[in-house]
Structure 1
Amino acid sequence: MSERSIMVTGGFGVLGRVVAAAFADQGDRVARVDFAPVAPDSIARGMDFAGIDLTDTAMAERAVADAANAHGGVDVLVNVAGGFTWQTVEDGGVDAWEKMFAMNLLSNMTITRAALPALKRSPAGRIVNIGAQAAVQAGAGMGAYAASKAGVHRLTEALAAELAGSNITANAILPSIIDTPVNRADMPDADTAQ
């Protein structure tokens, strides 16, 4: 399938920009969606949706509709959007848990639900969720993050079961620690070579 219509959430971040560029480099039309107010760069064969709060159902639906109208549908949704916080249960509070739930899980569910009708019209719809190894084995201080990423893992499993027999597949990628400036600052001793 050539010239697919791709949506990448978290498209202005380090990983999102690499994912979006990889699709654009192979000839796909890419829509980058991000909470940030301005894109840090532009993308060939693409468009940007800045200032999108993916926990807001109406904003997610509007971004999908605009991307589908501009690119003739949606064939692939890659959910990169998310965040990280390091905080122990003893020293932390509920705010971190709510933030991780919203950034990592609710944002994923909202845009996926909005994109399902367009993905169903694609001859080969794809949903790719970026989870985390921490969803399988959490470390100290990773409770809120790991729990929210475990939710992404379970959401992906539920989607795969719900969409079985359709033209859509749902899968998750579970990377370890990605080498980004923020992760280097938060976890200076982390092994990012895994």
Structure 2
Amino acid sequence: MILMMQGAQRYILENKVPVPCSDENQWREFMRNKDNILIARDEIGPYTVVTVFLGFNHGTASKPKFFQTTCFGTDSARPKYSKDCSWAMLQHRGKIACAEGLIRFFKEKEAGIDRSFSCLDYEVHPPNEIHFILESEEAAKKAMPFNKKHWERRENRVIFCVTARIICDRNSDETY
């Protein structure tokens, strides 16, 4: 059953762009088809990252939120909302990176390696970066002692780069 808020503007997607839909029957048919609303779904170990089109603006006119991305399987499945499909996919890739990081974290923890840290928040920086904000620069250095293919550290931030960069560790002959 699809529930709508009284008086809320309905939207459908045309070429991945939300457009108003005044025909309630057309909107209901669109929303009933999971292929129309499921933008992306990925399973990463015990985690499932899902991005969906909501069918209405969950935000405001000045800050619209048409898409929702959630990582299920974590203690905190706090969703992130996006204004358009490209932002939603960036959020989706960020949640995948978080899930992959959690898997590595727990493997390292089982092996006696402790890289635990407290991530205060994260920010999306178009076109290809997600910044994880840590408590301090020292915490960031502990969490990530050196840069990797998709990751780098800047001050108190650990940054995921959606597009891989070739980074050479100055203390090694390896290229990441």
TM-score range, shorter chain: under 0.3
Structure scoring higher RCO (CA < 8 A, sep ≥ 6) equals 1
Higher helix share: 1
Higher strand share: 2
Query: If the length of structure 2 is used for normalisation, what is the TM-score?
Result: 0.27
